[in-house]
């Protein structure tokens, strides 16, 4: 009896995936902020794309930046909303894949350094030297605005690795959590995506008496939609162009507001060359 | 110098831990650690059950992954246990069980992706290694007499089935059901890396500060485990086993080409892939050792030794909570509940929570490891102490009774249990690195984040070797101190 049960278990476990439909466009996004928010936003995106593309579209939430890249690489998702660094990694792992579109804001994105009020740090134009010796949290290890760029600037100014220049260094996991951890004083300073911060402030989710922006980094290119190179074989000729057009034509204010982006503009792989060079300098990619 | 080798060994461990304290970072860095703690506690005592569908799915998936994973692990482990006399089988078992479920999951995620197979194998493979070892120990201890008195012409299989198994059966069954409880915890934790189990929802709820959802999820999980004996009946188990695979969810289809590429490309060290020669390979390896492996090993050992002694101390404080020599009916029930909560809460989850409350240091990990493991050891020692009948005229005062009557008689088993948990604590310590404490898991997680699976594999193998080393050391110590053997305490 037990043996039969086990055999059945194994067979069922192996057969289960066959049930999933073959012609569904599956996409994911890096989990850069609260999951509820992402589900809401990308649920709407899935509906929108389904209407424009005439295929089933499904959004799959993942738990880490690495999982998003891996799913893209394994062709378990064909399209993804990546950050600068995760996009570079994904396109390096999947030859032929292409950055299709970025948000209007993403061409000139930036990172805020935020600090708890107890630090006494205030906003400045120049890099805040006062963070030396403070506890500091990045976002995810794989984040552009939450890790790559802030680490770059910390190394540039202090000429030392963050863990040497700062008292303690942590990785909160995502931008929402960075804000929460600095607000509660678990860390004194943090690096956060400016857009996530601005909308958290606009929605009254942050007590700006407890935590405030002390510095804004120079701008760089960030988020983009990236698609696999082999989608045309699977979904039909010019599928890639259709996806690009659909993304660029996204005009529903509510949908755009959920990102939040003014709209989407065309981009290309080379827009992220600087990000790739920076990541190489920090030995985050080979 | 104390005479008893047991005492000497204990003091040795305390001394090592004291030295480790010098290297450890145990500060609470959070500016207001209790504010968030208060919010969390308020949420946990006012659980929000407004989305029963989500809680139900989370539980169903958790149970399904546990059943399929533990079931496959038990079946494979049983086969391995029959071959356990071969050195190679013993080595394979030791190796696969030295790698934590979450590490297995992180590996399988690379080529099966978010497919149920990832979660199932992440449980089944290390569990097979554990089952193989423990089953073989149980079978070895079975009374050999029935087999000896059978006529010579009786075949090997019949001899095994009718003379060996019946005597060992109750032990096999009780151990397997104990592992099922562990399997439920493992299954829940796999949610943290993306499997659709309890941890998936816990992580989201926690990350967003929805502590009332956290409370609801934790509460149903405690009830599920506390009521294990009520819903897991031996007659129902085959039914559960049959049904479980259908409740794993579909996940995403597997791209089989990835599995091949993982072995032929991804885990091949980068200098070899680039054809840069042996010198470059050595440089690569040396860099990895100096910058990641050695600091990781150091932190892992420091944290393990402190957590081990903390676990021991807390266990000795905790076991009277369920010992009839120290509690009445009501206090005993309360103590029991407390210990069940302590051991049901996976250390990974506890460390995750405490890190957010107290800030980044080793302290959250030490506390989490000590609480969880003391819950288990306290439970086992408490039960053991209940078998003791006190001498007539034994001391009446509780403190005297504890010090002069009970403790000396449970100290041997206590040390045995603690040494069993040593390797487990180390395995868990390594994994806590994923949460940001700089043990080996931190570097593994970073390497995986950077898609450098070559580095990740080297670090995982180092972690496994470290665990095997500690396991061997613990076995030697147990043998030298002649501590009695009891396989069911292993996890």
Residue-averaged pLDDT of chain A: 91
**B64: closest chain A residue by CA:** A9
- Chain B contact set for A19 (CB, 8 A): 250
Q: Is residue B66 part of a domain?
A: yes
- Chain A contact set for B204 (CB, 8 A): 34-36
- Chain B contact set for A182 (CB, 8 A): none
Are B108 and B117 a contacting pair, CB within 8 Å?
Answer: yes
Q: Is residue B468 part of a domain?
A: yes
| Ramachandran category for residue B399: left, alpha or beta (phi over 0 → left; psi -120 to 50 → alpha) | alpha
Judged against a pLDDT cut of 70, whether residue B486 lies above it is answered with: no
Tell me: the pLDDT tens digits for B435-455? 999 999 999 999 999 999 999
Are A141 and B456 a contacting pair, CB within 8 Å?
Answer: no
- Chain A contact set for B72 (CB, 8 A): 6, 9-10
Same domain for B338 and B414? yes
Are A189 and A119 a contacting pair, CB within 8 Å?
Answer: yes
Q: Between B424 and B258, whose confidence is greater?
A: B424
Same domain for B282 and B306? yes
The per-residue pLDDT for B488 is 47
Lowest mean per-residue pLDDT among A149-153, A201-205, B28-32, B42-46: B28-32
| Eight-class DSSP state of B236 | T
Same domain for B359 and B237? no
Architecture (CATH level 2) of domain A21-106+221-281:
3-Layer(aba) Sandwich (3.40)
**A285: closest chain B residue by CA:** B450
Same domain for B227 and B158? yes
Q: Is residue B31 part of a domain?
A: no
- Chain A contact set for B252 (CB, 8 A): 17, 20, 26, 60, 71, 76-77
CB–CB contact B357 A60 (8 Å)? no
The per-residue pLDDT for A21 is 44
Q: How many CB pairs under 8 A join A and B?
A: 162
Tokens of B434: 């994923």
| Eight-class DSSP state of A212 | E
Tell me: the pLDDT tens digits for B294-332? 999 999 999 999 999 999 999 999 999 999 989 888 999
CB–CB contact A76 B113 (8 Å)? yes
| Ramachandran category for residue B468: left, alpha or beta (phi over 0 → left; psi -120 to 50 → alpha) | alpha
| Of B32, B68, B120, Cβ closest to residue A184 | B32
**B262: closest chain A residue by CA:** A74
Q: Is residue B355 part of a domain?
A: yes
Same domain for B223 and B294? no
CB–CB contact A168 B29 (8 Å)? yes
Give the end of a domain, one of B219, B245, B266: B266
Same domain for B393 and B485? yes
Give the end of a domain, one of B212, B238, B266: B266
Model confidence band, residue B357 (pLDDT cutoffs 50, 70, 90): confident
CB–CB contact B114 A71 (8 Å)? yes
Number of domain units in chain B:
2
Same domain for B292 and B413? yes
CB–CB contact A186 B242 (8 Å)? no
H-type alpha helices, B191-227: 198-207, 211-226
The per-residue pLDDT for B2 is 58
| Of B68, B113, B208, Cβ closest to residue A36 | B208
Same domain for B229 and B314? no
CB–CB contact A188 B31 (8 Å)? yes
- Chain B contact set for A63 (CB, 8 A): 192-194, 200, 203
Same domain for B201 and B319? no
In this structure, are strands A135-138 and A168-171 parallel, antiparallel, or unpaired?
A: parallel
Considering A228-242, B393-407, B470-484, the range whose residues carry the highest mean pLDDT is A228-242
The contacts of residue A142 (CB under 8 Å, 6+ apart) are: A30, A64, A65, A66, A69, A83, A85, A86, A89, B449, B450
Q: Reduced to 3 states, what is the DSSP secondary structure of residue A115?
A: strand
Domain ranges (residues) in chain A: 21-106+221-281, 110-216
Report the residue count for chain A.
286
Distance CA B446, CA A141 (A): 7
Same domain for B260 and B354? no
- Chain A contact set for B246 (CB, 8 A): 12, 16
Q: How far is B209 from chain A (nearest CA, A)?
A: 9
- Domain around B245: 50-266
The per-residue pLDDT for B379 is 93
Tell me: the pLDDT tens digits for A106-126? 999 999 999 999 999 999 999
Distances (CA, A) of A206 to A11, A51, A212: 50, 36, 9
The per-residue pLDDT for A7 is 52
CATH number at residue B133: 1.10.3720.10
**Cβ neighbours, 10 Å, residue B145:** 9
CB–CB contact B113 A70 (8 Å)? yes
Same domain for B241 and B290? no
Judged against a pLDDT cut of 60, whether residue A12 lies above it is answered with: no
Q: Reduced to 3 states, what is the DSSP secondary structure of residue A171?
A: strand
**B70: closest chain A residue by CA:** A6
- Chain A contact set for B446 (CB, 8 A): 141
Distance CA B213, CA B206 (A): 8
Q: Identify from B177, B202, B449 which residue to disrupt to test chain A contact, counting A C-beta atoms within 10 A and taking the largest count.
A: B449
Are A175 and A37 a contacting pair, CB within 8 Å?
Answer: no
Judged against a pLDDT cut of 70, whether residue A141 lies above it is answered with: yes
Are A229 and A75 a contacting pair, CB within 8 Å?
Answer: no
The per-residue pLDDT for B484 is 62
Are B141 and B280 a contacting pair, CB within 8 Å?
Answer: no
CB–CB contact B446 A76 (8 Å)? no
Q: Is residue B33 part of a domain?
A: no
| Of A2, A12, A63, Cβ closest to residue B238 | A2
Are B200 and B249 a contacting pair, CB within 8 Å?
Answer: no
Q: Is residue B156 part of a domain?
A: yes
Are B124 and B72 a contacting pair, CB within 8 Å?
Answer: yes
The contacts of residue B31 (CB under 8 Å, 6+ apart) are: A116, A118, A184, A185, A186, A188
CATH: 2.30.30.100, 3.30.70.2970, 3.40.190.10, 3.40.710.10. Which one for A110-216? 3.40.190.10
Domains A21-106+221-281 and A110-216 agree in fold: yes
Q: Is residue B24 part of a domain?
A: no
Angle in degrees, CA A31, A33, A35, rounded to 5: 70
Q: Is residue B205 part of a domain?
A: yes
Give the end of a domain, one of B266, B287, B306: B266
């Amino acid at each position: 009896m037990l043996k039969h049960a086990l055999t059945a278990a194994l067979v069922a476990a192996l057969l289960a995936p066959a049930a999933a439909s073959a012609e569904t466009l599956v996409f994911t996004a890096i989990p850069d902020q609260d999951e509820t928010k992402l589900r809401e936003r990308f649920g709407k995106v899935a509906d929108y794309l389904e209407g424009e593309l005439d295929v089933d579209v499904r959004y799959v939430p993942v738990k880490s930046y690495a999982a998003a890249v891996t799913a893209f690489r394994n062709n378990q998702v064909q399209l993804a909303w990546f950050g600068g660094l995760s996009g570079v990694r994904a396109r390096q792992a999947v030859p032929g894949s292409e950055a299709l579109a970025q948000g209007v804001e993403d061409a000139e994105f930036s990172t805020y350094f935020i600090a708890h009020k107890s630090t006494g740090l205030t906003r400045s134009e120049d890099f805040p030297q006062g963070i030396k010796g403070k506890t500091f949290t990045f976002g995810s290890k794989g984040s552009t605005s939450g890790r790559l760029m802030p680490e770059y600037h910390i190394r540039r100014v202090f000429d030392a690795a963050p863990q040497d220049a700062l008292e303690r260094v942590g990785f909160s996991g995502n931008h929402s959590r960075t804000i929460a951890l600095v607000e509660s004083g678990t860390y004194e300073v943090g690096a956060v995506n400016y857009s996530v911060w601005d909308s958290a402030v606009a929605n009254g989710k942050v007590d700006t008496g407890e935590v405030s922006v002390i510095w804004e980094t120079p701008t760089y290119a960030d988020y983009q939609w990236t698609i696999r190179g082999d989608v045309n074989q699977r979904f039909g000729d010019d599928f890639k162009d259709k996806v690009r057009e659909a993304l660029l034509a996204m005009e529903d204010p509510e949908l755009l507001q959920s990102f939040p982006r003014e709209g989407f503009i065309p981009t290309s792989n080379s827009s992220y060359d600087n990000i790739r060079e920076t990541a190489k300098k920090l030995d985050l990619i080979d | 110098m104390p005479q008893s080798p047991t005492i000497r060994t204990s003091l040795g461990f305390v001394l090592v831990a004291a030295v480790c304290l010098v290297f450890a970072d145990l500060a609470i860095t959070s500016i207001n650690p209790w504010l968030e703690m208060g919010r969390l506690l308020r949420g946990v005592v006012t659980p929000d059950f407004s989305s029963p569908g989500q809680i139900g799915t989370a539980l169903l998936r958790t149970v399904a992954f546990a059943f399929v994973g533990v079931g496959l692990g038990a079946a494979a482990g049983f086969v391995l246990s029959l071959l356990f006399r071969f050195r190679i089988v013993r080595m394979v078992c030791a190796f696969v069980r030295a790698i934590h479920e979450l590490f297995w999951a992180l590996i399988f995620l690379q080529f099966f992706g978010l497919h149920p197979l990832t979660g199932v194998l992440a449980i089944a493979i290390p569990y097979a290694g554990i089952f193989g070892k423990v089953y073989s120990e149980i079978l070895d201890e079975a009374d050999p007499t029935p087999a000896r008195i059978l006529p010579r012409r009786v075949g090997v299989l019949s001899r095994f089935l009718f003379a060996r198994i019946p005597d060992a059966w109750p032990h096999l069954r009780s151990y397997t059901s104990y592992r099922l409880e562990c399997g439920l915890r493992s299954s829940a934790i796999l949610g943290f890396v993306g499997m659709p189990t309890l941890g998936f929802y816990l992580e989201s709820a926690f990350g967003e500060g929805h502590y009332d959802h956290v409370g609801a999820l934790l509460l149903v999980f405690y009830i599920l485990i506390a009521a294990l004996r009520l819903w897991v009946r031996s007659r129902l188990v085959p039914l559960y086993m049959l049904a479980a695979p259908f409740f794993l969810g579909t996940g995403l289809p597997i791209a089989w080409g990835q599995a091949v590429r993982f072995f032929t490309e991804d885990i091949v060290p980068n200098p070899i892939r680039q054809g840069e020669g042996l010198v470059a390979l050595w440089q690569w390896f040396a860099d990895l050792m100096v910058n990641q492996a050695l600091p990781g090993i150091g932190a892992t050992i420091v944290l393990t030794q402190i957590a081990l002694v903390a676990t021991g101390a807390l266990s000795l404080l905790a076991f009277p909570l369920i010992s009839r020599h120290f509690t009445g009916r009501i206090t005993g029930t309360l103590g029991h509940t407390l210990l069940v909560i302590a051991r049901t809460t996976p250390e990974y989850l506890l460390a995750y929570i405490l890190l957010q409350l107290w800030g980044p240091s080793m302290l959250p990990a030490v506390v989490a490891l000590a609480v969880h493991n003391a819950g288990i050891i306290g439970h086992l020692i408490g039960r053991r102490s209940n078998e003791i009948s006190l001498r007539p005229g034994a001391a009446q005062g509780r403190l005297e009774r504890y010090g002069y009557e009970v403790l000396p008689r449970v100290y041997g088993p206590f040390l045995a249990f603690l040494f069993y948990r040593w390797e487990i604590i180390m395995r868990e310590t390594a994994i806590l690195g994923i949460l940001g404490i700089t043990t080996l898991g931190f570097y593994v997680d970073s390497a995986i984040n950077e898609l450098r699976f070559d580095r990740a594999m080297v670090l995982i193998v180092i972690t496994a070797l470290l665990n095997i080393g500690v396991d061997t050391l613990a076995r030697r110590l147990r043998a030298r101190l002649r501590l009695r053997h009891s396989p069911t305490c292993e996890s």
